[in-house]
Amino acid sequence: MHVCHGCGYDYSGMEGQQAEFFSEEIHLLFDEMLVSLSGPIEQTGKFDLGLFSVLHQLCSILVSLSNNGRLEQFICRRLGVQFVPRARIRLPIEGYTIDERHHFVQYGLWLMKGLAARLGEAWASKAVRYNHLLKDFEGAPTDYRHLVGRFSNWRRAGARRCL
């Protein structure tokens, strides 16, 4: 997990940077995630590759041009923090500054803490579109696909109420 999937760079020897957290809930989850990365892969618990792939997908949506900051604004409102608009450019999550990546990962972890309810609320408030949730997400975990499938028929009467 400490090796870049694109270029093979080993990040394990890099010096860490202190992150500021939006909430204690996110801080605890972030720390649990880091501990899971330092141990053997058999002992990752809830932080398996499926969780990390969903987290990466959510972060990709957060920075996507097509979402235009709607999901980030929704999360900021829910966390009670100020949304800071930034220039929207075509850049993968890995291309942002470390501080920006910390923010995006925290937003993603906040969603992951109660994924069904929080993603459902984001979808119902039009902060994220159904088609973006699976866009370019080959090999998405089955549980995530089933969850997202609940949002597929938005025209059905009462579809938004069933969440």
pLDDT tens digits, one per residue of 122-152 = 999 999 998 899 999 999 999 999 999 988 8
Residue 153 confidence class, pLDDT cut points 50, 70, 90: low
What is the rounded average pLDDT of the residues 64-90? 92
Asked whether residue 52 carries a pLDDT value surpassing 80, the answer given is yes
Burial of 17 (0-12, 13-18, 19+ CB in 10 A): exposed
Instruction: Say which amino acid occupies 135.
Output: K
End-to-end CA distance of the chain: 34
Give residue limits of the domains in the chain. Answer: 28-36+47-149
pLDDT digits (tens, 9 = 90+) for 3-48: 776 787 777 777 777 788 888 998 998 888 887 777 776 666 777 8
pTM score: 0.80
For position 157, what pLDDT does the model report?
Answer: 43
